[in-house]
Chains A and B, each alone.
Chain A
Amino acid sequence: MLRRFLRNPAPFAAAAAAGHLLMVIAGAARLPLPASSAATKILGVYAAWSGASNSYGFFAPGVAAEWRAALDLYDPRAGVWTTRTRVAPNLELAVLDSTINSYFSRKEIREALAASWAAAEMPEAPGAAAVVVRAEAFLLPTLPEYRSGHRGEWRTLAAYAFTTEEREALVDAQDRRAPPR
């Protein structure tokens, strides 16, 4: 076998390419790998490294709603809430942000994603005692609805509040400074 391979590797290369292509087809058809086994694990690793198991349903079967994170920050000194939404500095980063926010549509990781946004935003606002991350979806009317005057709007579909012990202390300190009523 080894001697045959060394003498003429082309048929082996063609067979390997055919095997790779089969994985590509299985991935595109969203066929799951057979039940767990050592071979399945190896195939899984191969697929993850080569990208052979990808599926290609871009914007299919339909175009999902756009999501974004709206962050409400509470400043205890001024006693006011301010709202921020991240604006990407260029189109490519807007695509990356949009991809991140699209995971808000998955309920099982929504809170963890919101926690990530809160953790990323907190250092930017050192005076904020709490951050509320709102997962918002852009609800676009259909073509006929738009013709009849409806317009798209961002709607909050979930909200999560975050703080830390140090940030909570900001509120306590403010309460101590406030004159008694």
Chain B
Amino acid sequence: MRRIAVLRRAKAAIRAFVLEPASARPLAVMRIGIAAALIGEAAVVASHLHDYYGPLGLVQPPVTDALAHWSLPSLPALARALSFTGLTESGAVQAAFAVYVLALHLLLLGCRTRAAAVVSWLLFLAFKKAGSAAAYGGLEFAQIALFYCVVLPVGDALSIDAFRRPRPPSVGARIGLRLLQLHLCVVYLSSGIEKARGDQWWTGEAIWRALMRPGHGDIDFSWLAVHPLVAKLACWGTVTCEIGYSLFVWLKRTRKLWVLAVIGMHLAIAVSLGLVFFSAVMIALNVAAFLVPADAREAIADARQPGVNRSSFDSAIS
């Protein structure tokens, strides 16, 4: 009897965890953050587009093809498809880039959000394939976030689409939010465990080696050699932040502290290692996943303003 009651309670808890309607605001923040970061990255890369993604770029197709999955959309194929317009392959790359940036702006504003997300994602994949040798962690996370923008209801809040046609809190938004949260937990846990398996993260050498890499920032960290304890503490702190993430973000008391610590870690990475885009993407994902309220009741309180379909909100959470 008691066992049945426990099972019932567990089932109800899981149901509430996964299926209770939630506001789409956290997902909307992810959408805005990722689109803004990608627009920034595009602005930086734009004047060197052909170096990284052009047919005669820094890395030639034999290498890029070997590094990318065969099934991903390809820019040369797109160029061939557009050849009837008279565009050269370089011209097609430029045209694709212009459409990609436009789609990112629409995604940022939440205008025709789903279509904008699909176009951004497909062109992102094509550019990533063309520049696969240059695809680092920041771009991997951008790909993940863009995929989530395609499949999750990221346009249901803080968007032009939602302004035109307000959406109630939904089960889809809850499932999407849980997916994002659990994905981040997997990311930090696996990254933390892999770091903890290496000697460099116990001796302080990892931070030392990362900060002393030439060409990644102007700050001189050679003083760490005189104060090795600082390097050691930074290493231990990083591993603790990452491994502890998957536990402490679920506890109400420690959630904010832990997410802020991880955001601090990413800010430090941006400043000291020059990984600005990567850090911006990770900060956007963390803020969206754990710092934006998703409680349906809060969303309703916000939404009880003129022009909002009140009855649909009420029915969604009843």
- Which residues of A approach B to under 8 Å, CB–CB? 10-11, 13-14, 17, 20-21, 24-25, 28-29, 44-45, 48-52, 54-63, 66, 68, 87-100, 103, 109, 112-113, 115-117, 119-120, 138, 140, 142-144, 146-147, 152
| Nearest-Cβ distance from residue A39 to partner chain B, whole angstroms | 15
Q: What are 27 of the A-B contact pairs (CB < 8 Å)? A: A11-B19, A14-B19, A14-B175, A24-B183, A28-B186, A48-B69, A49-B71, A58-B137, A60-B197, A63-B205, A63-B209, A66-B214, A91-B276, A92-B44, A93-B45, A96-B45, A96-B52, A96-B131, A99-B136, A100-B59, A109-B66, A113-B59, A120-B58, A140-B208, A142-B205, A143-B208, A143-B231
Q: Which residues of B have CB within 8 Å of A60?
A: 191, 194-195, 197-198, 201
| CB pair A94 B216 closer than 8 Å | yes
Which A residue sits closest to B226, measured CB to CB? Answer: A147
| CB pair B209 A112 closer than 8 Å | no
| CB pair A66 B213 closer than 8 Å | yes
Query: In the complex, which of the residues A17, A45, A143 contacts B228, with contact meaning CB atoms closer than 8 Å?
Result: A143
Query: In the complex, which of the residues A13, A62, A95, A99 contacts B133, with contact meaning CB atoms closer than 8 Å?
Result: A99
Q: Known contacts A57-B190, A117-B58; is A96 also within 8 Å of B136 by CB? A: yes
Q: Which residues of B have CB within 8 Å of A44?
A: 69, 71
* Chain B residues numbered 124-153 whose CB sits less than 8 Å from any CB in chain A: 125, 131, 133-138, 140-141, 143-144, 147
Most chain B C-beta atoms within 10 Å of own C-beta, residue among A20, A54, A96, A117: A96
| CB pair B44 A90 closer than 8 Å | yes
Whole-angstrom CA separation of A21 from B189 in the bound complex = 14
| Nearest-Cβ distance from residue B89 to partner chain A, whole angstroms | 16
| CB pair A17 B136 closer than 8 Å | no
Q: Known contacts A17-B179, A54-B144, A140-B212; is A59 also within 8 Å of B206 by CB? A: yes
Question: Between A and B, how many residue pairs show CB distances below 8 Å?
Answer: 190
Q: Which residues of A have CB within 8 Å of B274?
A: 91-92, 94-95
B74 within 8 A of A: no
Would you list the 4 A-B pairs with minimal beta carbon distance, nearest first?
A61-B198, A48-B69, A60-B194, A28-B190
| CB pair A116 B60 closer than 8 Å | yes
Whole-angstrom CA separation of A91 from B182 in the bound complex = 31
Q: Which residues of A have CB within 8 Å of B147?
A: 49-51
Q: Which residues of A have CB within 8 Å of B62?
A: 112
